[in-house]
Amino acid sequence: MLNPVIRQLADNAARFRTHVCVGLDPDIKKLPDGFLPTVDGVGAFLREVIKASAGLCIAYKPNISFFEALGIPGLALLADLRADCPAGVPWIIDAKRGDIGNTSAMQARFLFDQLGADAVTLHPYMGEDSVAPFFDYRDKLSFVLALTSNPGAATFEKLKMASGATVWETVVSQCVKWHEQWGNLGLVVGGTQGELRDVRAVAGRLPFLIPGVGAQGAAYSDVQSVAAVDGHVAVINMSRSVLYCDSSHHFAQSIRDELGKFRAI
Amino acid sequence: MLNPVIRQLADNAARFRTHVCVGLDPDIKKLPDGFLPTVDGVGAFLREVIKASAGLCIAYKPNISFFEALGIPGLALLADLRADCPAGVPWIIDAKRGDIGNTSAMQARFLFDQLGADAVTLHPYMGEDSVAPFFDYRDKLSFVLALTSNPGAATFEKLKMASGATVWETVVSQCVKWHEQWGNLGLVVGGTQGELRDVRAVAGRLPFLIPGVGAQGAAYSDVQSVAAVDGHVAVINMSRSVLYCDSSHHFAQSIRDELGKFRAI
């Protein structure tokens, strides 16, 4: 049986004719005119962003670090915002977690049960018992970091293993095996990486969460034409290029216009 | 010039004649008699633990996930507890962070500036721009995950690279280079791993943070005799085996007795 979050992402892509996910990365210094540079101001802005983007994105991806940067009240805001996310739109908390097993179980409880995540992101480094407590939430979805969008992907991810595969290929192959067992994995694959097609070749039908489009430099159309074809689920994230596209108080309409550019006709 | 946190850890080891770090992993279900199973109860207990262990440990290592598991008030408690840590005793926040560069910079601000960490733990997977924002805090210390204490270390960390080195050896060699540049790195090396001596052979003078002793199965004396010799800095963490050694209201004396076992005569 298909994981309900994967199914929802696929349904939303068909219904809304887009693959865009809106990354909720609040920056207190970049709020449009009329919002106070406070945690409350951030909250008010993000609620407007969620309203403005309804029907124009398949998911939301708050990055927890941007809320932590606002201190404890920022994390309380992240918890509160869950109620503003429309029904049927997955709430992907980008947390990049992973610890020894019993600690990962606590991380999973925090993200899924307390913050209401439908999906999360994970570091693969510490191996099976580090990620399994997340997979044990069968109706949730876990995106494991595979080939990331940043320059540092060259430090370890792209190195060659004795098997001939790269580190990221080894991680992807392992994730494919885990997906056969648990059925609720996805992969984080940077849109800035030329290897997007190569990752799909190893990844089978695993859904991709793709950062790096917009402010980080990759073009939506390039990524979409490679990753969101043949019925594959691709969640193409855009944060800064959408949230801060207009600093005037016409920002809501500008966000709708910006997101409208990525809809199929 | 030696990093001030590394120097403090070495000074404390000499002064207190121990290498033990007390891991603050609160479990609301395991509090001794007399503490309410609430966040306030956890706070009262941890403050007693810190008092009881004064002069018997070289550092404290709160694992942020255990505080997150208590919800937003748990994180507020972690922020508040910083003031209870005695001067000169490093506060190592075990957070296992790492993201793309600008997001890592936010994580570093949260952990170092807002939560008052002297040291943190990091995932290496995403490479140089993912960890560098932490290293940029020159007077702080960053322990990078190398060979971890959990069974999942076999999934990726122990695999062989094309170079002939294992994944963990590759990470350690890179950390040695980064340490030459920044001077403020350490490594997380599991006490349960037979390779502790092998890690030291690659790691040069990098300080080790060693989990896995106590409840996870490794013996302090074995770890200490390998890792805390020849002037190397080894921070040997114990959490559950110290915190929950006595559920009666004599727990403070029991914690002192337990920690006293690891002091050199």
DSSP A166-197: BHHHHHHHHHHHHHHHHS-EEEEE-TT-TTHH
- For chain A, the 3-state helix, strand and coil shares in percent, each to the nearest 5, are 45, 15, 40
As a whole number, mean pLDDT of residues B183-187 equals 98
Confidence of residue B193 (pLDDT cuts 50, 70, 90): confident
ipTM: 0.96
Confidence of residue A100 (pLDDT cuts 50, 70, 90): very high
* More confident of the two residues A247 and A230: A247
Q: Which CATH number fits domain A4-258: 3.30.70.1150, 3.40.1170.60, 3.40.50.620, 3.20.20.70?
A: 3.20.20.70
As a whole number, mean pLDDT of residues B69-77 equals 95
Confidence of residue B56 (pLDDT cuts 50, 70, 90): very high
What phi, psi does B214 have (nearest 5°)? 95, -120
In B50-69, the residues whose Cβ lies within 8 Å of chain A are 63, 65-66, 68-69
Nearest CA in chain B to A147: B126
Tokens standing for A124? 């693969």
Give the start-to-end residue ranges of the domains of chain A.
Answer: 4-258
Please state, in angstroms and rounded to a whole number, the distance separating the CA atoms of residues A210 and B59.
Answer: 40
pLDDT tens per residue, range A218-234: 899 999 999 998 899 99
Mean confidence (pLDDT) of chain B: 96
Residues of A in contact with B192 (CB under 8 A): none
B24 three-state secondary structure: strand
Residues of B in contact with A168 (CB under 8 A): none
Residues of A in contact with B210 (CB under 8 A): none
**Nearest by CB to B129, which of A152, A163, A167?**
A152
pLDDT tens per residue, range B79-95: 999 999 999 999 999 99
Please state, in angstroms and rounded to a whole number, the distance separating the CA atoms of residues A235 and B102.
Answer: 21
Amino acid identity, residue A20? V
Q: Residue B38 pLDDT more than 80?
A: yes
* More confident of the two residues B1 and A122: A122
Residues of A in contact with B156 (CB under 8 A): 124-125, 127, 167, 170-171, 174
Give pLDDT, residue B161. Answer: 98
Contact between B237 and B211 under an 8 Å Cβ cutoff? The reply is: yes
* Third-level CATH fold of B4-260: TIM Barrel (3.20.20)
* Any B CB within 8 A of A123 CB: yes
**Nearest by CB to A127, which of B128, B130, B157?**
B157
- Nearest CA to A74 out of A41, A52, A49 is that of A41
* Any A CB within 8 A of B113 CB: no
Contact between A173 and A165 under an 8 Å Cβ cutoff? The reply is: yes
What pTM was computed for the model? Answer: 0.97
* Any A CB within 8 A of B101 CB: yes
Q: Give me the total of CB pairs closer than 8 Å, taking one residue from chain A and one from chain B.
A: 176
Strands lying side by side in the sheet with A92-97: A59-62, A20-24, A234-238, A208-210, A185-189, A141-147, A119-122, A92-97
Give pLDDT, residue A32. Answer: 97
**Nearest by CB to B130, which of A124, A152, A162?**
A152
Give ∠ CA A252-A225-A55 in degrees, rounded to 5: 30
Of the candidates B96, B140, B158, B261, the residue annotated as catalytic is: B96
